[in-house]
């Protein structure tokens, strides 16, 4: 498995934790984000990671900023990206199963009710549904990019 990840200055510590977890699972991480507190703009980091993902060879991507909101909104402006900002393990599992999210976002300054590593684990361990209403809804969701 191979993952692309980027973050801004508001989520350096969280990005380090997530990268460490992934590497501990034997997952290859291309970490494009900053590793310092020097200010970088989250739209730039989203564009960088999403562009890399769209080149191919990645299973999914991870984006992190102070809240996860700005970077996920930025990512969702890019054609072909479905970035989710789950608040817990249940939401992370369902976004993979029902929405086939290809990116997951986190906030480095958010007090999560569950450990973000567990939320990421729930996302990774979930399987996308391959038939039925969810597949139809994904097609409708992606068609919105054309309107």
DSSP secondary structure letters along 61-130: EEEEESSSHHHHHHHHTSTT--EE--SSHHHHHHHHHHH--SEEEEETT---SS-HHHHHHHHHH-----
In the numeric block, the tokens 């958010």 are attached to 110
The CA distance from 72 to 116, in Å, is 16
The CA distance from 146 to 76, in Å, is 13
Torsion angle defined by CA atoms of residues 62, 67, 69 and 72, in that order, rounded to the nearest 10 degrees: -10
Residue positions annotated with a catalytic role: 65, 98
Structure tokens at 112: 């999560």
């Amino acid at each position: 498995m191979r993952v692309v990840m980027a973050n801004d200055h508001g989520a350096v510590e969280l990005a380090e934790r997530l990268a460490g977890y992934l590497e501990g699972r034997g997952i290859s991480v291309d970490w494009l984000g900053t590793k310092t507190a020097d200010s970088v703009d989250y739209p730039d980091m989203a564009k960088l990671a999403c562009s890399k993902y769209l080149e191919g060879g990645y299973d999914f991507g991870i984006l992190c900023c102070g809240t996860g909101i700005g970077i996920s909104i930025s990512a969702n402006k890019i054609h072909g990206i479905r970035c989710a900002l789950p608040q817990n393990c249940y939401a992370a599992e369902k976004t993979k199963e029902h929405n086939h999210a290809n990116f997951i976002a986190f906030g480095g300054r958010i007090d999560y009710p569950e450990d973000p590593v567990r939320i990421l684990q729930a996302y990774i361990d979930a399987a996308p549904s391959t038939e039925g209403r969810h597949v139809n809804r994904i097609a409708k969701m992606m068609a919105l990019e054309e309107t």
